[in-house]
Amino acid sequence: MPSTIKTKANPEKWYCIDAKGKTLGRLSTQVANILRGKNKKTYTPFLDTGDYVIIINSNEIEVTGKKELQKEYLSHSGYLGGLKRETFQKLKIRKSSRIIEKSVKGMLPKGPLGRKLFTKLKVYESNNHPHSAQKPEII
């Protein structure tokens, strides 16, 4: 049984956001609120009432201050001494979509609901995306 029943009064929308020149934290907060459904009257904390979000131009996201050089992203292989560090600048060059994904995922609830909401986020490094058939509303 689905967690929420979608009716004509509560359809799921698709939104498209251009990350060009936007600040990481402010963009992530806006996206997390849309994914949770906090921008709707039908918001319920324990249900998935959110919409889909497409983010384009993730390679042109910005951060303030010295974060570009000082912010680090950590990952661990699970083995002893398997901690890997990568700065914002290097991760932006290698896989810029992961920066936004990691930021938004940290703002979503932890547990099954948060994992389900995270699947509604689509991040692309370029201006093109394969979701034009859903007719996303541009924000």
Check residue 4 and give its pLDDT.
59
Token pair listed for 79: 């083995």
What angle (nearest 5°) sits at the alpha carbon of residue 119, between those of residues 116 and 125?
160
Instruction: Tell whether pTM > 0.75.
Output: yes
Cα(100)–Cα(91) distance, rounded to whole angstroms? 11
Token pair listed for 36: 């949770």
Segment 39-59 mean pLDDT: 92
Segment 20-44 mean pLDDT: 94
User: How large a percentage of the chain has pLDDT more than 90?
Assistant: 85
Which fold does the domain 14-64+95-138 belong to in CATH? Ribosomal Protein L13p; Chain: A; (3.90.1180)
User: Is residue 125 pLDDT above 70, yes or no?
Assistant: yes
Domain borders along the chain are 14-64+95-138
